């Protein structure tokens, strides 16, 4: 097999890194394609030949100019930092799946990765071409991803709880009601909490928290206590592979909160029925379809018939999926809805956006920035 071409006139290849990205002891190649606004990965066979280049978009007019490699979230897997000369940010790709952007100066051109402050976390130094300066981004290793806002200590002030994927914990920031917050309190979770939801799972008039742990394929229930915001002890329930999104709601009309989880890796959703004491039983699994890779889930009564509809974004197929509820905790097979070509739906939420009589849902699309 001959090595595939890495560059063309359109791609304007600007930077090349050689490293073993997939832990198969074979060297791979990562390139920054300035002209086509993407990053290319060529996995090596070890004999001088490579797989066809896998393209990962860095966004429109980004013009990636430099690449650096490191484990930025302490999961022992290599991640990729890409500097985008056309914008004012640096993108971090965690395991090819998750992209996080960080602001820099104007026209960032080169990046270097080192531990500059001796805290065992990798930091990044970026040279900004138009500003004649340099940005230093200190790494914390926490990689916060999702948050939930509510009054968790019953003082009538809004608080924030953040799921920190890199440090495998959640941060609780209690609000003062004036826009400021107390120093964070952290509570341990399972490995790599990815998404978070809140609800009263045990009917004690206090909000509890549930998180999905994407690497250990489980959900953790952190119940509220009288003396602390959350308990240090938590119940664990297994779900599908690589869960990425979670929502709490009453899906079977028994006045108890249930949990719905979207599993990116096993292409499914799990419904876990809740009891009055904060425990959960009777898990049901529904397929989202081959190649669907569901990235986000929401559940709500969308048509005022006292039955819940579960909606998922299927990132793999670029479609929305809906499971129609029958009112007693069971659902139809998935109904698929096409999106605009290249939309790449990533996240879905529900809320009232108009007249207050019916709930609506909104979808965030990575591919069309809409």
Residues 189 and 202 in one domain: yes
* Angle CA 200–203–206, to nearest 5: 55
Residues 199 and 295 in one domain: no
| Residue 304 · residue 358 · CB < 8 Å | yes
Residue from 145, 132, 146, 142 nearest 168 by CA: 142
Residues 320 and 338 in one domain: yes
Choosing from 100, 116, 137, the residue where a domain stops is: 137
Residues 73 and 126 in one domain: yes
**Residue 145 contacts by C-beta under 8 Å, 6 or more apart in sequence?**
98, 163, 164, 165, 193, 194, 195
Choosing from 178, 206, 238, the residue where a domain stops is: 238
Question: Is residue 268, in this structure, part of any structural domain at all?
Answer: no
pLDDT at 4: 42
Residues 285 and 370 in one domain: yes
Residues 51 and 125 in one domain: yes
pLDDT at 283: 93
Question: Is residue 150, in this structure, part of any structural domain at all?
Answer: yes
pLDDT at 212: 94
Number of folded domains in the chain?
A: 3
pLDDT at 183: 86
Rounded to whole angstroms, the Cα distance separating 85 from 186 reads 37
Question: Is residue 249, in this structure, part of any structural domain at all?
Answer: no
pLDDT values of the chain reduced to their tens digit, one per residue, 370 residues: 334 444 445 678 888 888 898 888 989 999 889 889 888 899 999 888 888 888 888 888 889 888 888 888 777 788 888 888 888 788 888 766 567 777 777 777 777 777 766 767 777 777 777 766 667 666 656 666 788 888 999 999 989 888 888 788 898 989 888 888 888 888 999 888 889 999 999 989 999 999 999 889 999 999 998 777 888 778 999 999 999 999 999 999 999 999 999 999 999 999 999 999 999 998 999 999 999 999 999 998 887 888 899 999 998 898 999 999 998 889 999 999 888 777 777 788 776 555 556 666 677 776 676 6
| Residue 218 · residue 238 · CB < 8 Å | yes
Find residue 13's DSSP bridge partners.
33
pLDDT at 367: 66
Residues 131 and 59 in one domain: yes
Q: Tell me the residue range of the domain where 296 lies.
A: 278-370
Residues 36 and 132 in one domain: yes
Question: Is residue 54, in this structure, part of any structural domain at all?
Answer: yes
pLDDT at 6: 45
Residues 127 and 184 in one domain: no
Rounded to whole angstroms, the Cα distance separating 361 from 211 reads 22
Residues 162 and 198 in one domain: yes
Q: Find the CATH number of the domain harbouring 172.
A: 2.40.128
Question: Is residue 255, in this structure, part of any structural domain at all?
Answer: no
Question: Is residue 202, in this structure, part of any structural domain at all?
Answer: yes
pLDDT at 219: 95
Residues 329 and 292 in one domain: yes
Question: Is residue 251, in this structure, part of any structural domain at all?
Answer: no
Residues 227 and 297 in one domain: no
The reported pTM is 0.67
Q: Find the CATH number of the domain harbouring 99.
A: 2.120.10.30
Distances (CA, A) of 182 to 62, 118, 175: 37, 27, 6
Question: Is residue 244, in this structure, part of any structural domain at all?
Answer: no
| Residue 349 · residue 341 · CB < 8 Å | no
- Give the dihedral sign, CA 94/99/100/105: positive
Choosing from 238, 256, 291, the residue where a domain stops is: 238
């Amino acid at each position: 097999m001959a090595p595939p071409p890495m560059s063309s006139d359109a791609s304007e290849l600007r930077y090349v890194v050689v490293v073993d990205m997939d832990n198969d002891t074979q060297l791979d190649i990562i390139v920054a394609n300035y002209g086509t606004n993407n990053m290319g990965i060529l996995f090596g066979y070890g004999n001088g030949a490579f797989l066809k280049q896998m393209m990962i978009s860095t966004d429109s007019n980004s013009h990636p100019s430099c690449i650096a490699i490191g484990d930025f979230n302490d999961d022992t897997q290599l991640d990729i930092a890409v500097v985008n000369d056309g914008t004012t940010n640096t993108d971090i790709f965690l395991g090819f799946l998750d992209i996080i952007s960080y602001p820099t100066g104007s026209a960032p051109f080169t990046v270097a990765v080192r531990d500059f402050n001796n805290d065992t976390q990798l930091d990044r130094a970026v040279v900004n071409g138009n500003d004649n300066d340099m940005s230093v981004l200190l790494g914390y290793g926490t990689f916060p991803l999702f948050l939930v806002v509510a009054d968790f200590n019953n003082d009538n002030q809004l608080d924030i709880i953040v799921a920190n994927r890199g440090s495998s914990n959640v941060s609780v920031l209690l609000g003062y009601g004036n826009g400021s917050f107390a120093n964070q309190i952290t509570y341990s979770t399972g490995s790599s909490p990815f998404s978070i939801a809140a609800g009263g799972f045990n009917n004690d008039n206090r909000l509890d928290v549930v998180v999905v742990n994407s690497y250990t394929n489980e959900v953790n229930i952190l119940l509220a206590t009288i003396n602390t915001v959350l308990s240090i002890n938590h119940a664990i329930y297994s779900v599908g592979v690589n869960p990425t999104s979670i929502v709490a709601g009453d899906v079977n009309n028994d006045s108890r909160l249930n949990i719905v989880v979207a599993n990116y890796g096993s292409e499914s959703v799990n419904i876990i029925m809740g009891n009055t004491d904060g425990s959960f039983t009777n898990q049901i699994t529904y397929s989202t379809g081959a190649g669907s890779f569901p990235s986000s889930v929401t559940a709500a009564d969308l048509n005022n018939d006292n039955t819940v509809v579960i909606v998922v974004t299927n990132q793999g197929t670029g479609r929305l999926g809906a499971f129609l509820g029958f009112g007693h905790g069971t659902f139809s097979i998935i109904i698929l809805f096409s999106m605009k070509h290249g939309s790449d739906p990533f996240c879905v939420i529900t809320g009232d956006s108009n007249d207050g009589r019916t709930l609506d849902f909104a979808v965030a699309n990575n591919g069309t920035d809409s």
